[in-house]
Amino acid sequence: MKFSFDADLDYQRQAIDAVTGLFRGQEVMASQFTVHAHPAAHAGFEGFSDLGYGNMLRLDPETILANLHEVQNRTGLAPEPSLDSMNFTIEMETGTGKTYVYLRTIYELNQLYGFTKFMVVVPSVAIKEGVATSIQMLRDHFDTLYGNPPMNPFQFDGSNPSRVRSFATSPSIEIMIVTVAAINKKTNKIYQPAEDLDFEVPADLIRATNPIIIVDEPQSVYGDTGTGKKKGAGRSALEDFNALATLRYSATHPKTDKANLVYRLDAIAAYENELVKQIEVDSLVTSSSGSTPYVKLLGVTRGKGGAITARVEADVEQGNEIKRKAVTVDTTSRNNLADATGRDLYKDITVVAINAAPGQESISFDTVARPLSVGDSIGAEVSVSERARQMIAQTVRQHLLKEQEFAVHGRDIKVLSLFFVDSVAKYREYGPDGEALLGEYARIFEQEYTRIASEPQFNTLLGDSAADKIAQEAHQGYFSVDRRKGGAEVLVDTKETTDKGRQQAGWAYEQIMRDKVGLTTPGTPLRFIFSHSALQEGWDNPNVFQICVLRNMGTERWRRQSIGRGLRLCVDGSGNRVHGFDINRLTVIANESYEEFADRLQREMADDLGIQFGLITVDSFARLSFKAEDGTVVPVGSAAAQTLYQALFSEGYIDVKGKVQDSLRQAVQTGDKNLTKLVSDSVDSEAAAKAVLGLIKRLAKPMDVKKAGERVAVPLVQERLESPEFQELWERIQHRTEYRVEVDEASLRAAMVKALRGMLPVPKRRGEWVTHRVERIDQSGLTAEAAAARRADVTYADSEDLPDILSVLADRTQLTRATLAHVLTESGTLGQFRDNPQAYIDQAGRQLNVTKADFQVKGLRYELVDSSRPEADRRYALSLLREADLAGYTGPGGNIVCDADGNAISFEQKSVYKYLVVDSNTEKDFALALLRQSEVKTFVKLPASFKIPTPLGSYNPDWALTVERTDGSRYIVFETKGTNELELLRPMEQDKIASARIHFGTVKDRVGINDLEYEVVNGIETATAVMERDSEL
C-alpha cells in the first residue's frame, strides 16, 4: 500500500500561503560563500576551495511587516503592531497535517523565491524519525507537484559532520533534521572542529547558509515559554544560527509565545469542521460494597485569599442512599471526612495537610500511610490489576467491533489500537537466561483477545484461524532497545537525556516510524501496539481507533497528547484519506471517569489555546470558523470580532469581562430580532452570522430560575394581617399538636418480611462501561452525550469484606438490631446482600421505611399540646408570618408571580403578603385564581416555618384561606399537587398528607371547630368544587 495525499485541502493551502506571503516581492536569488575544501577531496591542489550556497533576503523590515499585516488580515488574525523578530508562528491542531504543511512550504519557498537551505529542529528522536519518514513518503507527491526538483534530506546526530559540507555547498534543496539535544549544549559535536571538515566547525557552515529554521513543537524545543529574563537552552542555540527566518509549528504554543501568528487552525475549528476524528471516552463505572472508606484526590485549589482546598471523591450519604461524588475539604473546618460525607465509616479519616505546589498536588490524612497525589485513591473496590484487565478487554472489544463494522459495510480500512504503559516490565519480562517472556499486560491481552474473539458475534472475523494464534501475532511492543553483546536486543526504560538513551530510543522509533505504511496496510497481522507513554509525542498513525492509557496520569498534561496519537483521519487500503465522523471515531479507554477526563482535557485546551471557556471575548469570535460559499473553511476574523464584541457590550449583553448577562440569555430564548440584526451587521456573510449566533446560543445557557430578574423583598400587608377575616382563619389553624404511634410489633415484622420478599431482586454487583461521545468542542466547552453502556463482569477486591448491615440499617430505619435480624433472616433475601451489599442495603432500607411509615400512619394519634405548656408550644404565633423574611425574583424565569411584562403582581387586597413566592406553575396558577375568586376573602401561602410534626418528618401545608358562603364562612387548608390521584405520589408524600388529615381532624374535634377543612387539590377547579360543596355543619 502507498499513501495518497490530497494537494487541494483548503486549510493546508491557507497555512502554506500564509508563510509564502510573508516574502512577497522577494526575487529568486541565492548568496554564495567560500567553503574550505577537505584535503582528501582535492589532493595535490593547494588552496582549493568549494563554493557555498545560502539563502538571501532582499526585503527590508517595513516590507516584511506590510506583508505580515496582509497575511494576518487574510487569515483573520489581529495585526502585529511592529516586527520585533523574524520568528513566525503557525498553529495547527494535531492530526491536520502539520508536517505535510511545513515540508510543502519548503518546496513553495524554493519555487517562488529560490530558498534552498532549511533546518528542521525537533524535540525528540521520535519526531526526528517521523519527519524523515514523512519526507520519504511524500517525495513522489511533491516531485509531481513541483517538477522533480533535487532535494537532499539528512538527519544530523553528531556522527556525520561531513554531511554538513554537502548541506552548505549544494545548490539543491537541503533539509537538515536535528534534535534540540544535538545543538543545545556547547559541548555538542556540532560546535566542535571536525576533521572531516578540515577542522572547520559544522555550526559555522550552517550559519553561513542563512538557513530558514523550522521548529517542530517549539514549546518542547525552546526550554522556556517566552517569558522571563532567562532564555531556554534551545531558544538560545537557535538564535545563534543566523536564520533568515524561523517558522514555528505546533498545536500547543504557549499563550505567551505566539509572536507574529500568521495562521491558526485550533482544536475547536478542526473538530467543528470534522478535520480530525470524533472523540469517544469509555470509562468503567463500578459500585462500592459500602464496607471500606473510599477516597480519591481529584484536584487541589488555591483560592484568591491563599486558602487551599482539595476536591476528593468519596461515597456520600444522600437521602438514605450512597452516592459517589466530589466533596471539598480543607485542613480546618472541613477536615473530617465523616462530616463531609455524612457517614461514620469515615470518622477516622481527617485531613492533616494539602500540598498545592504545581505538579506536586497531594493530600495527607492522619490514618493513611502515604499522601495521595491527584488520581490516587484508597479503598478502591477494584484492584489495579483487575482494572487493567477490564481496560484491555474493553479495548479489544471496541477494536473487534470496529473491524466488524468496517467488514459489514465493505470498508477496506485497517484498525489499530494503542496501549500506553508506564514500564517495559508490564509488557516484556526476561528469564534467568535472558529469554523474552510476556509481561503482565501482554499475558492479559492474549487471554482477553482469545476469550472475546471466540464469542459467536466475531466468528466471521476469525475465519479459519484460531483466536489464540491470532492473539500472539496481533500485538507488539515498541520500547527503547539495548543492543547487547551477541546481538541480543532487550527492551528497556530510558530517557532521551543522554547519548546512549537517545540511541536506544532511536532504534525503537526507527522500527515504528518506518513501518507506518505496513501498520496501516489491511491484512497485516499487527494491530495492537504497546509502548511507553513517551511515544505520545512524535508518533501517530491515521488508523489508530482505540487508545488505552494503562496508568494513572493525575495532573499530567497527557490527554491532548494521547488523543493526538489517533486524531488523524484514517486511510483505506488504497492509501486514500476517508472523511466523516461516522467512520472516524477515536475511542479513549480512560483510567478515570468521563467527568474527570473531560474536565482535565478542557483545562488543557484552555491553557494551550489561551481561552476562557464560557466567556465571550474578541478571540471567541475571531477564532470561530465557518464554511464560506466556495466551500473553504475561514475564520470570522479579528476585525469583525472586534466590531461584534463592542456591539454586544454596548447593548449590555455582556459585561466588561465578557460574562454573559441575563439580557442576552433572554434575547436568545425569545429569538430577539435585535440580536440577529446586531450580528448580521457585524459580519460580512450569512454563513458567518449563522456560526456566530450558534456560538452565542451555546454560551448563553438558559437563565437560572432563581436569578431571573430583579430580587424583590416580599413585605407583609399589616392591614390584611389584622383584618377580622384573617384573624378568624388564624384562630382555627393556630393549634399545635403532638403525636404518638401505636404499632403491633408482630404485625409490623410480618409486613416488613412480606415487603422484602416482594421487592425486585437486587442485581449482582457488576461494572458498566459507559461511552460518552463528544458532540461539540467550542468556546462553551465540551458537549458530550452518553452514547452506549455495556455491563462488565468485574472481580471486586472487597467482595468478601461486607459492611455491618444491622448497624447501617438500624441507623437508617431507627429499628432495633433484633427486629432487623429477625426480618432479614425471615425474608430469605440475605443472599442478595452478598451479591451487591450497597444496593441491597439501599433497596431494603427503602422498603423497611415505607412499611414502617404505613404502620405508623395507621396507628397515628394526635392530641392538642397540653394546656399546661407555654403558649409558644401550644399555638403557631403570628410572628411566624412577620419573621418569614420572604424574597424572590421577578421576570419570566422568576419565582415571584408576575404579569406578562415580568412585573410583580400585587396580592395585598387578599393576601397577608404583597407578593407571592411560589415553587411551581401549579402554585402560580392557583394563586392567580384565588385572587380572582370573589368568594375568597383572604388567604395566605403558609411560610416554611409553619410545620406540622409527623412520624416522617415535618410537613408544611401550602395554603390557608377564608371563603364566604351564604351559609357562613368556611376555612380551608389546601395542599396543591400536580394530580388528584394520591396513589401516584411518592409514599412519603402520601403518608405526610394522611398525617395532616389526622392533625386537622384532631384540631377540629378537640377545639370544636366544625368549619375547618383540609384537602388536596390539583388546581382551582377541584378547589372550587371543595369550596362550593355543602357544609358539613
Read off the pLDDT of residues 913-940 as tens digits, 9 standing for 90 and up: 999 999 888 889 999 999 999 999 999 9
pLDDT of residue 816: 93
Q: Specify the pLDDT at position 777.
A: 80
Mean pLDDT by 10 residues, the chain (1033 residues): 87 96 90 61 45 91 96 90 95 92 98 96 88 93 96 89 89 96 92 86 93 95 84 94 96 88 89 88 82 88 87 86 88 90 89 90 90 87 87 96 94 93 86 86 95 91 84 83 53 54 50 69 89 60 90 62 82 92 92 78 73 78 83 84 91 87 83 90 89 84 49 90 94 95 91 93 84 80 79 78 88 91 94 88 91 89 94 92 84 81 90 92 90 92 93 92 89 89 84 95 92 92 85 53
Q: Per residue in 71-105, pLDDT tens?
A: 998 888 889 999 999 999 999 998 899 999 999 99
Distance CA 726, CA 701 (A): 43
Query: Residue 152, CB half-sphere, CA atoms under 13 Å: how many?
Result: 14
Strand ranges (E), 266-408: 278-285, 295-302, 308-318, 321-329, 351-355, 362-365, 372-373, 377-378
Rounded to 10 deg, the angle between the 686-699 and 673-682 helix axes is 130
Domains in the chain: boundaries: 10-276, 293-378, 384-608, 618-702, 711-739+864-1028, 743-858
What is the pLDDT, as a whole number, of residue 519? 81
The pLDDT, as a whole number, for residue 711 is: 78
Handedness of CA 676, 682, 688, 693 (dihedral sign): negative
Q: What is the DSSP letter of 1033?
A: -
Main-chain dihedrals φ then ψ at residue 8, nearest 5 degrees: -115, 25
At residue 703, the pLDDT reads 45
pLDDT at 496: 47
The per-residue pLDDT for 718 is 93
How many helices (H) and strands (E) are present in the chain, helices listed first? 35, 38
- Sign (positive or negative) of CA dihedral 824, 829, 831, 836: negative
384-608 and 711-739+864-1028, same CATH topology: no
Category of 832 on φ-ψ map: left (φ > 0), alpha (ψ -120 to 50) or beta? alpha
- Class of the domain covering 10-276: alpha beta
**Among 885, 863, 871, residue whose Cα is nearest residue 944:** 885
pLDDT of residue 707: 39
Class of domain 711-739+864-1028: alpha beta
Domain 384-608: state its class. alpha beta
Residue 978: CB atoms within 10 Å? 12
Identify the CA nearest to 86 among candidates 117, 122, 57, 127. 57
| Cα distance between residue 984 and residue 457, in whole Å | 43
Write the single-letter amino acid at 364: S
